[in-house]
Amino acid sequence: MTPNRHGTAVVELPNDLDVLITRQFDAPVGLVFDVLTKPEHVSRWFAPHGCEMKECSIDLRVGGSYRQVFVTEDGTECSFHGTYLEIEPPTRTVETWIFDGRPEVETVETVDLREAGGVTTMTIRTTYRDKASRDESIQHGFDGVESSFDHLEDVLASLRA
Quote the DSSP letter at residue 72: -
Give the residue from 124, 105, 133 showing the smallest Cα distance to 12.
Answer: 124
Asked if residues 155 and 35 have their Cβ atoms less than 8 Å apart, the reply is yes
Chain segment 66-84, per-residue pLDDT in tens = 999 999 999 999 999 999 9
Asked if residues 93 and 62 have their Cβ atoms less than 8 Å apart, the reply is no
- Res 3 pLDDT > 80: no
Helix %, strand %, coil % of the chain (to 5) = 25, 40, 35
Distance (Å) of CA 7 to CA 58, 85, 152: 27, 29, 12
Chain segment 118-142, per-residue pLDDT in tens = 999 999 999 999 999 999 888 876 6
Chain segment 75-119, per-residue pLDDT in tens = 999 999 999 999 999 999 999 999 888 888 889 999 999 999 999
